[in-house]
Amino acid sequence: MSVHDSNDWSEALFSRIIESIQSENPITIVRYGDGELTCVMYAKKGGGGFNYDGDLYDANLGAMIKDTILNPIAESNFVYALGEHCRHVGFVSTLERDKLWNPNIKWEDAFVFVHAGIDGRLQSLIDLINKQHSIFVAPEYLHGIKVDFDTYVTTTEHRSFTAKDEIERKVEEHLSQDSPSIVICALGMSAIPIIHSLYRKHGKSHTFIDIGSVFDPYVSDGKYRSHFDKIQKKLDL
């Protein structure tokens, strides 16, 4: 079974996210894949190397991601999601050996939005974003997505965690005072520390989603991923 194949686990999580937003019950999700775990592993040797998107395995970012694993947010509306392939290829066992893993985290499926984007379920999230107050936090090339975001916060394509405080300030300026905002983040590895910080201040009132790469097929200059070829039903934008 491919990581790109949907499963009951992934579909249940996506349904939970949609139901929470529909009910105006804030929910937050952050996703950890091989890039994020590699960044943690490389941090102890000072960083080095790049992930698929050309984002540097920065030692400072690795330390931030490590802290989110060792000191997780233990709230029912904060979801930690892991790419299960990270277990199969040995990343998790390596982190366990180095005492950089937290066995108490209840991991969900990090491919939740990829699966929804492949089989057409992602449209329900887009429809909610179009109706409710929403903020898109992403590099400028993704701002071309034809989704009705209320506000756009522009970030760099790489190492946006270095502007973490400024990004958070801009998001906070635009959070709705009347109803829960949906904050969609396409920030690569930097999404993890930024969303953790925003959640600690606003997670009881607003939704924060680490969306990943699912919008790239719908913009010019979008960065190719293998799951694009598996899309069965494209978004109606």
3-state SS string over 35-89? HHHHHHHHHCCCCCCECCCCCECCHHHHHHHHHHHHCCCCCCCEEEEECCHHHHC
Q: How far is it, in rounded angstroms, from Cα 12 to Cα 88?
A: 22
d(CA 200, CA 26): 13
Write down the pLDDT at residue 1: 65
The pLDDT of residue 46 is 86
Please state, in angstroms and rounded to a whole number, the distance separating the CA atoms of residues 19 and 42. Answer: 38
What pLDDT score does 126 carry?
Answer: 98
10-37 pLDDT tens trace: 999 999 999 999 999 999 999 999 999 9
CB atoms within 10 A of CB 76: 6
Please report, as a single letter, which amino acid is at residue 29.
I
Q: So what's the pLDDT on residue 114?
A: 97
Contact 210, 136 (CB under 8 A): no
Q: What parts of the chain have a pLDDT lower than 50?
A: none
pLDDT of the residue at 151: 98
pLDDT tens digit sequence for 62-96? 999 999 999 999 999 999 999 999 999 999 999 99
d(CA 98, CA 109): 24
Tokens 């790469």 belong to 213
Q: In what order do the strands lie in the sheet with 182-185?
A: 107-109, 78-82, 28-32, 207-210, 182-185, 134-139, 151-155
Helix, strand, coil share of the chain (percent; to 5):
45, 15, 40
